[in-house]
Homo-oligomer: A and B are copies of this chain.
């Protein structure tokens, strides 16, 4: 009697022929690919593959398709919703070594990159050319991961999300076929929008291997400011007023007093009080920036804002925005031995006060520690529900609070996810949000493009 050879063993053996040392079954490597930064239960893949070209991705997917082996794409592993957890084991497809910046056009303000490029790497590369890529999630994620999850960040209020900043993609489909989507033009009415279909599909329809991004000119002038408020309501109402007045702010970020306390400790923001706070940034011409800032200053003063602290020099601005980008880590560090369950509710701007102040009530009732921070110009905010890693009951309480905050967001006409994606964490809300008919249409597209269900199973759709 011989031991049964599993389908994945065929894939591993065949892939070794063209990947050599770049396919690993080492336990430590598999462990590093067992989940992201979320609280899902870790699952080790059978093997981790470090691909370096489209051709390799194509060969690997053709193999997995033939043998019915699951493939879970992996970038920087910063997902907060279980996207990279290979819940049915199989292959973890690590794209983090595909970091080539293949082309930058100053004239057309676009570039072609591989998916493992991070936004930091890209912006370092672009700086000398007077260009920048605006989409900036807090984490050191890959741009491939951002495409997969339809990510955004602090600048989205002015420059849009990744959805508005991708012009086209190269995608390897489930069976290994390679397609090109989109166009290098600013607009096109040339058939189905496969680019937008792939963006936000979380690795369930295909694997992105090249990305053409729209870039922006570094603004002539930039200034930033911080305003603190005696209470949350004035803080939130200021945001709503700024947006309704149409001031084209580049960033308008809210941190509640729990979050700001964590940031003061983590990022040494000595000048700030433990009060609800707005971080602001303005982009434009010298005159335009001044005009915007004056409008916002007038509004926040009117709403009870305590002064308007300028951060005109680049060093002060960098410190401010680094602190904002590290808010998640500041939150995690504020409580020993913790991980975070993160909500990502986004609502129409008119409902922001209800959603946000309601979430604060829910948090208070729960008794959990839970900093709140938000891309409030877009109506989007996060609560980072802190749980002791070693206390399963705490995790259950955190999920109960998460459900309550999301349910309130949906009831206010919002979405369960503004920017983190669905993954496993938000899949339970999709039917309520879209209705069973729309979800069935999504499933039928999934089944058509990935008939064997090998691509990132268990994500977006609950099984």
A residues touching B (Cβ–Cβ < 8 Å)? 105-110, 149-152, 156-157, 160-161, 163-164, 173, 177-181, 183-194, 196-197, 199-201, 205, 216-217, 240, 244-246, 285, 287-288, 291, 344, 346-350, 378-380, 413-422, 426, 430, 433-435, 437-442, 444-449, 460
Q: List 25 A-B contacts (CB under 8 A).
A: A105-B350, A107-B240, A108-B348, A161-B187, A179-B437, A181-B434, A183-B346, A185-B414, A185-B418, A186-B378, A186-B380, A188-B415, A189-B200, A189-B418, A191-B430, A191-B460, A192-B197, A193-B196, A194-B442, A196-B197, A285-B288, A288-B288, A445-B445, A445-B448, A445-B449
Of the residues B107, B183, B192, B426, contact of A442 by C-beta under 8 Å:
B192
- In the complex, what's the smallest C-beta–C-beta distance from A209 to chain B, in angstroms? 13
**Residues of chain B contacted by A418 (CB below 8 angstroms):** 185, 187-189
- In the complex, what's the smallest C-beta–C-beta distance from A246 to chain B, in angstroms? 4
- In the complex, what's the smallest C-beta–C-beta distance from A156 to chain B, in angstroms? 6
Q: How far is the CA of A121 from the CA of B403 in the complex (A)?
A: 42
Q: How far is the CA of A157 from the CA of B185 in the complex (A)?
A: 12
Q: How many copies does the complex hold?
A: 2
**Residues of chain B contacted by A196 (CB below 8 angstroms):** 163, 193, 196-197
Query: A201's closest neighbor in chain B, by CB?
Result: B192
**Residues of chain B contacted by A413 (CB below 8 angstroms):** 184-185
**Residues of chain B contacted by A246 (CB below 8 angstroms):** 216-217
**Residues of chain B contacted by A445 (CB below 8 angstroms):** 192, 445, 448-449
Query: A345's closest neighbor in chain B, by CB?
Result: B185
- In the complex, what's the smallest C-beta–C-beta distance from A133 to chain B, in angstroms? 15
Asked whether, in the complex, the Cβ of A350 is within 8 Å of the Cβ of B108, the reply is yes
Q: When A and B form their complex, which 10 residue pairs have the shortest distance between CB atoms, in order from nearest?
A: A196-B196, A107-B350, A150-B189, A179-B438, A188-B415, A217-B246, A185-B346, A448-B448, A108-B348, A189-B417
Asked whether, in the complex, the Cβ of A346 is within 8 Å of the Cβ of B287, the reply is no
Q: How far is the CA of A350 from the CA of B187 in the complex (A)?
A: 15
Of the residues B181, B190, B291, contact of A422 by C-beta under 8 Å:
B190
Of the residues B156, B164, B179, contact of A164 by C-beta under 8 Å:
B164
Asked whether, in the complex, the Cβ of A184 is within 8 Å of the Cβ of B217, the reply is no
Asked whether, in the complex, the Cβ of B187 is within 8 Å of the Cβ of A435, the reply is no
Known contacts A181-B438, A348-B108, A421-B189; is-contact A197 B200 (Cβ 8 Å)? no
